[in-house]
Structure 1
Amino acid sequence: MNLLHGYRPIQPPGLQRELQQPGYSYREYAPSGKLAPFVACYWTLDFHSSHGHVPHRIIPDGCVDIIVNRRSVCSAKAAFITGLMTRYEVMNLSREESLFGVRLYTETADRILKCPVSAFLGHHVFLEEIWGAAGLSMAEALVTAKAVSDMITIMESQLKQLLSLADLSTGSLIQAGMKSMYFYKGNMTGALLAEKLGYSERHVRRVFAQELGVSPKEMLGIVRFQSMLQELHSGTNSSLTEAAVNYGYYDQSHFIKSFKRYYGLLPKQLASMERMQRTGVRID
């Protein structure tokens, strides 16, 4: 089963460098080679309340996250799993925060979490409920770890152990479907996806709903939007407008609607921030 792909989700702090400021830090770390097909990245978010109030924007990326609150006073409630997001969210940071996360690719997350991704849609599930005593023990180790490298080592050890027990010899319709979405960068119809998979659209919709909790159309929208942002971030396109056209957003109203839903900003607002980064001129 070939799990390798070029899809690399991006979050606002990676796209908007001006968000990084004293007292607020978001960082991403690459997984080891063996885990790269399953883990998009490890990440940390730290905030010191002495620096006031900071909004932390989170956008849909087609992934599932394991999150550890390292300031939690209770290890049993320190680590939890979040399901797929279909709209942006903003965390208004006003108190001390120290989070460690693992971003899992949706199509193989069930191999690690031992249950369908749909089980986590719309709410948090504590890691102890999924992995039992092993989940609680790992949460305790992550909360007390001294360095990010230690946290990654602890998490990678657990993930490798779980994957060693999983059956990776065969794929699934979800894996094949997401592979097609990544290949087309989300710029395809549900009908074409069903054709590539060799099933009816109705069957594909039913499987996506059961396994992921979202429709193929929703996932296509997220992958397409993320792929466009990745290309913008890489500097391949000279402007947001050019990137939008390349990804099939020919209708301006549709593009604006998608942007507001997934990012929570108007395209021109991000374009202004992008110019500010390049020129060093602040736009208020």
Structure 2
Amino acid sequence: MSNFTVFRPPVDIQPQQPWFVLSAATHYSLMASSHPAISHFYSFEVSESANLTLAVPDGCVDIVFDCDAAQPVARVCGTTLEARSAALNRNHRYFGVRFAPGVIPDFLDVMAEELTDREFNFFDVVPDARQACEQILHTPLFSQQIALFNRHFIPRLMRKTSAVTATIIHTILQQKGNIRVEQLETLTGYTCRTIQRQFRQDTGMSPKAFGRIMRCQAALHSLHQQGQISFSDMALDLGFSDQSHFLREFKKLISTTPLDYQRRTLLAAWNDRIRYH
């Protein structure tokens, strides 16, 4: 398949890592990016009292800088497929770059399929960027870290992807993950086998896994935006077979029920925690 394009995802779903926000000592700083390859930048200090911090599936690659003065380190993290430990250290300040769903940064010396559900030391997969990384790790201000990252990495940020993959990602995001492979065949004109092979090569995931993740991310977005909401209505809106199916899927990917998630975010004053820049 020789038809390639530069993918520009729609902004309907901002991928979230809710347990990062809930683990923050005070504020969770967030700044959107004007570059289509990046969803947003974030920064926070992990609370002294934080319990296990989880990473949930979001369909994104993150670069996470642990800015600890004694042992600074940077990791490249592919999306998880289920909720799992994020191994963040208490009292450490983190700076992160979250790429748009389905985007693989072009400067990474690693294939898309190698990233999914895995982490790498930054220096192992970006061998020519040690100086830039060390500058970011030792800069105390969020805005300066963003500026340094943009200065060093914007020129080689977005890996080219096939036109069929770009179309599928765009459609899955528009439909909030509620679409079947058979519909993607009709949309693209390609067979299921070709779609699966090309999509996995470009993103490291199957279209089904990506859609499943985006559907759960859409549920998180609805829970934050709409407050009181019927879970049965949400299940129907997102295309689940019934409420029970939605509840099982949410718990598997987010590691708690929607009701408990609402309670936790309310107790933690979610909206007051996030500081937009």
| TM-score, length of structure 1 as denominator length | 0.80
Shift of 1:174: 2.1
Alignment of 1:86-101 (within 5 A): 86-91=81-86, 95-101=90-96
* Residue 187 (str. 1) matches residue 178 (str. 2): yes
Distance across 1 between alignment mates of 2:47 and 2:268? 24
Distance across 1 between alignment mates of 2:66 and 2:132? 12
From 128, 133, 141, give the equivalent of 1:139. 133
Residue equivalent to 2:234? 243
Shift of 1:227: 1.4
Residue equivalent to 1:30? 32
Describe the shift of the 1:240–1:112 C-alpha distance in structure 2 as closer, same or farther (beyond 3 A). farther
Paired residues of 1:54 and 1:94 also in contact (CA < 8 A): no
Paired residues of 2:62 and 2:96 also in contact (CA < 8 A): yes
Paired residues of 1:53 and 1:92 also in contact (CA < 8 A): no
Describe the shift of the 1:53–1:140 C-alpha distance in structure 2 as closer, same or farther (beyond 3 A). same
Paired residues of 1:68 and 1:80 also in contact (CA < 8 A): yes
Describe the shift of the 1:203–1:145 C-alpha distance in structure 2 as closer, same or farther (beyond 3 A). same
Deviations 1:206-228 (A, max 9, x none): 22333333221111100111112
Q: Greater helix share, 1 or 2? A: 1
Paired residues of 1:108 and 1:175 also in contact (CA < 8 A): no
Structure 1 unaligned runs (5+)? 279-284
Paired residues of 1:66 and 1:81 also in contact (CA < 8 A): yes
From 59, 66, 69, give the equivalent of 1:69. 66
Paired residues of 2:23 and 2:53 also in contact (CA < 8 A): no
Number of corresponding residues: 263
From 14, 19, 34, give the equivalent of 1:8. 14
Alignment of 1:19-168 (within 5 A): 19=22, 23=25, 25-31=27-33, 33=34, 35=35, 37-49=36-48, 52-71=49-68, 73=70, 78-91=73-86, 95-113=90-108, 115-133=110-128, 135-163=129-157
Paired residues of 2:43 and 2:93 also in contact (CA < 8 A): yes
Describe the SS at the equivalent of 2:179.
Answer: coil
Distance across 1 between alignment mates of 2:159 and 2:220? 34
Describe the SS at the equivalent of 2:61.
Answer: strand
Which of the pair has the greater relative contact order for Cα pairs under 8 Å at 6+ separation? Answer: 2
Describe the SS at the equivalent of 1:108.
Answer: coil
Paired residues of 1:54 and 1:92 also in contact (CA < 8 A): no
Distance across 2 between alignment mates of 1:74 and 1:273? 32
Describe the shift of the 1:92–1:125 C-alpha distance in structure 2 as closer, same or farther (beyond 3 A). closer
Q: CA RMSD, aligned part only?
A: 2.9
Paired residues of 2:199 and 2:206 also in contact (CA < 8 A): yes
Residue equivalent to 1:224? 215
Residue equivalent to 1:176? 167
Distance across 2 between alignment mates of 1:53 and 1:20? 5
| TM-score, length of structure 2 as denominator length | 0.82
Distance across 2 between alignment mates of 1:132 and 1:2? 25
Residue equivalent to 1:281? none
One-letter amino acid matched to 1:5: P
